[in-house]
Homo-oligomer: A and B are copies of this chain.
């Protein structure tokens, strides 16, 4: 939604202390105070201003000068760098070091608040270590045509990939990778949500309310996270005396979920609760219920999964499992950084939290 970001106002002065009020952000070439074309300062410029040599500048700014450069000289270098607004040229740095301090974040889509939050968490940790993130949405839709996004193969040090099979990354073979929200049985280190536990909590909640015939509106997507959810629900229901499970599948799409849930609810012995694999599926279930004149939650209970925006936009608000996306991104990035420093990190799992709202009640 355009413009939905909070308004952010920033001081008008640019970096380097120039606050002359000129607004040349549109022009292709900025000009320095003297009118010459302003080519950005290099480490040589800093050296010259500080009266030392390039290598000294390099040492000082890299922070490994103790015992090799006199404190006075170091101070002079820092001051010169600050005065010129010096920032090292990334291209030259990468070329020399062979590392880019850039991580590729591979996501199935950007069209979901969930992945936005994931990015935020990852970016926070990355920034703290001087790493940059390039987002690489795996083309969704558009069919199996050739990948329209040029793969930045070698411009990255590592990969953080979410919600996909590790095999999908064969293109990047040879690059360190950490998988998020993916099958921990793969070869790569993984950071996951404990979705099985989350689903058990959902099951415990609805079974505790007295429900026995549970309808499962499952996502028609063959991915680890949904397989886990399905297994956990089935196990919990089976372990309950009198428990019974009916399952339908649907694409993650409101209209598809509505059709699938409608089919389930039209059966002569319909379930008293619909446990959905995803909040979007739950939105479809709401529609099916309303279509059949069933009141939620008095006539039918419904649960979701993920706790995205939708959950509180629906009426009644949705009982669901909150998955801490931002923490997932942060933990994943931490794991990847550990790996890049030569470690062999262990896979981890983050708990989900059951959020009980107005869509669940005892069976009618």
Using a CB–CB distance below 8 Å, which chain A residues touch chain B? 1-15, 23-30, 38, 40, 87, 89-92, 94-95, 100, 107-117, 119-120, 123-124, 127-128, 130, 132, 134-135, 137-141, 148-150, 152-155, 162-177, 181, 187-189, 193, 219, 221-226, 252, 254-255, 278-280, 283, 286-287, 290, 305-306, 308-310, 312-315, 323, 325, 339-340, 342
Contact = CB atoms under 8 A, between A and B. Distances in A.
A163 B5 contact: yes
Contact of A342 (B24, B28, B123): B28
A305 B4 CA distance: 12
B23 A163 contact: no
Given A116-B109, A138-B5, A313 B254 contact: yes
A98 B109 CA distance: 32
B109 A4 contact: yes
B140 A30 contact: no
Nearest to A158: B28
A104 to B, nearest CB: 11
B150 A109 contact: no
B290 A315 contact: yes
Given A27-B174, A110-B116, 5 more contacts: A1-B308, A23-B170, A25-B187, A110-B119, A111-B116
A1 B279 contact: yes
Given A87-B153, A109-B4, A168 B309 contact: no
